[in-house]
Amino acid sequence: MVLYIIGLGLFDHKDITLRGLEAVKSSNRVYLENYTSILHCPHEQLEEAYGKTIELATRTDVESESDKILEGADVEDVSFLVVGDPVCATTHTDLMIRAREKGIKTRVIHNASVMGAAGSSGLHLYNFGSTVSIPFFTSGWKPQSFLDKLEFNRRGDMHTLCLLDIKVREPDFEAMTKGKTVYLPPRYMTVNQAVEQIIEVLPTRESEYKIKEGTLCVGMARLGHDDQCIKAGTLEELRGEDFGGPLHCFIVCAEEVHELEVEAVEEFFVEGSVWKKK
């Protein structure tokens, strides 16, 4: 018996592979990880397409109470569905480790992810360094560790893919003080919010490899979808651009961008970009 960890791709119920669909149909229980990313269709549509009841798995279910998912996976097939590719988030690797410790056989079924789809920008994937995550700032918490990694990449002349924060099932602390369990509406960081946060903390950065006024950046939204949006320019040029609905991600380019990459990105330059004149 097997715990299948199955990538669903980037768009909707149709993006699952044939191998993944066969695994789902053979499973007695099916879970959908519901907090690191989103599909552009409700999970009920997945249930209808796959012919299975699908239980939504929260961060708590996966990271703190995974025994519920793993229970019985040594005697029956269980599918754990992940938007994108299963091995692009450390939380899924952790689930595989815990399954292995319990003697449960696991099998990963891969699919498209933002890591590969970022190549839609025209930038060469082999010129990328470490991927970073940009969290939502709060009034008392404005971490800059992602900028440390970003500047490290730029020191090596590498691009940086920035994954933007998602807040799902975020507790309403004001309601909790009144004894109520209430969750705030989901929040998905936009390219514009990421840019604003970077601009806010840039004056505090002293590295010679920090983002500069003319650094080429690429904002992307809904990669792999029919209405995906890609726009390129400087931070200031992208600041007010409309990228539409979630999910968004962001690329900060290397100190030096290869001429073939510039030529490929050219179709995405915003109107009036200084990069159009280079």
Binding site, by residue number, is 10, 85, 113-114, 164, 223, 248
CA atoms lying within 13 Å on the CB side of residue 117: 26
Cα distances (Å, whole numbers) of residue 54 to 26, 27, 31: 13, 11, 5
Contact of 84 with 91, CB cutoff 8 Å: no
The separation between CA 121 and the C-alpha centre of its own chain, rounded to angstroms, equals: 16
Nearest to 217 by CA among 257, 189, 247: 257
One-letter amino acid of 45: Q
Positive/negative CA dihedral, 246, 251, 252, 258: negative
Q: Between helices 18-26 and 43-50, what is the axis angle to 10°?
A: 80
231: part of which helix (H) or strand (E)? Answer: strand 229-233
Contact of 39 with 11, CB cutoff 8 Å: yes
Backbone φ and ψ of 125, nearest 5°:
-60, -30
* DSSP designation for 66: T
Instruction: Show binding-site residues for S-adenosyl-L-methionine.
Output: 10, 85, 113-114, 164, 223, 248
Tracing tokens 């904002």 back to the chain, one arrives at 219
Tracing tokens 């879970």 back to the chain, one arrives at 31
* DSSP designation for 54: -
Strand ranges of the sheet holding 132-134, from the earlier edge strand across to the other edge: 132-134, 160-164, 248-252, 217-221, 229-233
